[in-house]
Each structure stands twice: as structure tokens, then as C-alpha cells.
Amino acid sequence: MKRFLMLLALPLLLGAASPSVTPKPSPALIHASHAWIRYLLPGLPAAGYMTLTNTGDATTRLVKASSVDCDTLMLHESKTESGTATMTMVKSITIPAHGRVRLAEGGYHLMCTKPKMTVGGNVGITLSFSDGSNLLLLVPVYGPAGPREG
Ligand SMILES: [Cu+2]
């Protein structure tokens, strides 16, 4: 009983010793919003778009994406150089602390090869980050026009 009381008292003593102690930085905390997949045809790769927001104090990197509904789910970047659009695989996508990254047409995106999905359905995607955390998403599937309104 005596030891228990001492353990309880310890945080109070530490707090008293340094009243202006700065809070420990929080780890990266990632939220995904506006996620969707553009599905064209069974034989063509489908692209995944979303906004990744980091509300934590630490920068992290998206290092891997996977889905049982894709043969592979790659991290891609589109670029246009002297009028020619190209896509390259990237090893990671950095999401700065208190920042956000958009995966959108003409930039970063997920590329799903041999997609097994239907327009109107959902696809489960797992995003893995450099700090070892994972984010599980259920992402709606749209046709070529995407989720445009009107
Ligand atoms: Cu691509």
C-alpha cells in the first residue's frame, strides 16, 4: 500500500519541480479525407485519390499501400515535362507535421493493377507509414468522371 501511494505521488512531484514543462510532442496522426478510386475497365489500372492530413507533431511518410482488390497498389507520381505526362513509382510520400498532402490528378496517387471492383462499391485499402502505424480505409469506387457534383 505504501509503494502504491508513492507511485501516485511521483507524477505530482515531477510536475511541481518543473511547472512550465512543455508537453511531449505527439506522434504523427494521419486522417484521410475525400478518398475515392477511379475505375475504368477490368484490364486497366485504377487510380486512388485522397487528402492525407497529419494532426500530430511528427512528420511521417506513407511508405506502402495494399488492397486485396488489387494485384499491386503502388505509390505513383504523375509529372508533365515538356508537354509529356509520365508516371513514376515513388518510395514514399512525406506528410509533414501539422500539414497535408493531396493525392490528386496530375500528382501523387495510388495505382491499383488488375483491379477487382465495381463502380458504386467500396475497396478496402491499408496505408502503412514510416513510424509503423497503419490506416485502414474503405474507399468508394467511381467511374471515369469521378465524384463530381452536378
Ligand atoms: Cu499511376
Residue 19, pLDDT score: 61
Residue 82 in any domain: the answer is yes
Q: Is residue 63 situated within a structural domain?
A: yes
> What is the whole-number distance in angstroms between the Cα of residue 130 and the centre of ligand 1?
21
Q: What is residue 8's predicted lDDT score, i.e. its pLDDT? A: 52
Per-residue confidence (pLDDT) for residue 4, from 0 to 100: 53
Spacing, Cα 13 to ligand 1 middle (Å): 55
Domain count, the chain: 1
Residue 94: CATH number of its domain: 2.60.40.1890
Centre of ligand 1 to C-alpha 96, Å, is: 23
Q: What is the pTM of this model?
A: 0.81
- Measured in Å, residue 89 CA sits from the centre of ligand 1 at 8
User: What's the CA gap between 120 and 39, in Å, rounded?
Assistant: 10
The whole-number mean pLDDT for each consecutive block of 10 residues of the chain, a chain of 150 residues, reads: 52 56 88 97 95 97 98 96 92 98 96 97 98 97 84
CA 48 / ligand 1 centre spacing (Å): 9
Domain that holds residue 57: 30-132
Classify residue 14: in a domain, yes or no: no
pLDDT attached to residue 150: 45
